[in-house]
Amino acid sequence: MGIRLNFIVEGQTEEAFVKQILSPYLAGFEVWVQVRCVLTSRSRNIKYRGGIGSYEKARNDINAWIKEDRNSDVRFTTMFDVYGLPTNFPGYKDAKQKSDSYERVTVLEDALGEDISDWRLIPYFQLHEFEALLLSDPQKLDSQFDNSTGIRQLVDMVACFDSPELINDGNNTAPSKRIIGEVPEYEKMKVSAAPIIVDKIGLPTLRLKCKHFGEWLCRLETLNKG
């Protein structure tokens, strides 16, 4: 029968990535995916999703979905960026004291898991932003953008880091800011372009270049093995 896996993600780019890339891939492991963005507001009968203004909104949405489905054959996971994370997230202050990015993200994930307190939740935070995945092989941006000079600059920049996950969370130096700085067209096209670029890069490269992402993906692949 397999395992059902519900993703609660930060925005439309992550939602498109899960639907177009992770969902068909995980189906091969009998892990059946549903995904939705965090509910940010509600007006009459209209729900607005995308973006995390505060931890309360994320927490409420995670808990609401968990309460809707109490079955043991379902798991829940998150995909939130460390960059721009609201400061009232559990573990935020402790995480900021860590100089090592991987220790920092572990603190955040452990704190979220403790606060939600449901064994079916697999907390995941993207270091430091979704666009780190694109920087696993920035040359593949040429599949969507005709900007050889900007792409070459990104290739040279990424070479200065041990991993694209370590490209930091500064206001002007986060992965998305670096991509937009060199390829401005990306800003308005990211929801449609990002999954295509990731597909060109391929999951094997992503998990090789981004070890934290790779560890998460490995855990999702094995959900049906008990």
**Mean pLDDT estimate for the chain:** 93
Kindly tell me if the per-residue pLDDT of 220 is higher than 80: yes
Within 13 Å, how many C-alpha atoms sit on residue 66's CB side? 18
Strands 74-81 and 3-9: parallel
Closest by CA to 77, choosing from 117, 118, 120, 122, is: 122
Structural domains of the chain ordered from first start: 3-127+210-225 (3.50.50), 130-200 (no CATH)
What tens digit of pLDDT does each residue of 7-63 get? 999 999 999 999 999 999 999 999 999 999 987 655 444 344 456 888 998 999 999
**pLDDT score of 59:** 95
The answer, yes or no, to whether residue 221 has pLDDT greater than 80, is yes
- Is residue 105 pLDDT above 60, yes or no? yes
pLDDT at 170: 82
pLDDT at res. 141: 97
Residue from 11, 8, 226 nearest 129 by CA: 11
Q: pLDDT, tens digit, for every residue of 136-179?
A: 999 999 999 999 999 999 999 999 999 999 998 788 899 999 99
Give, as one character, the DSSP assignment of residue 167: S
What per-residue confidence (pLDDT) applies to 226? Answer: 63
pLDDT at residue 5, as a whole number: 98
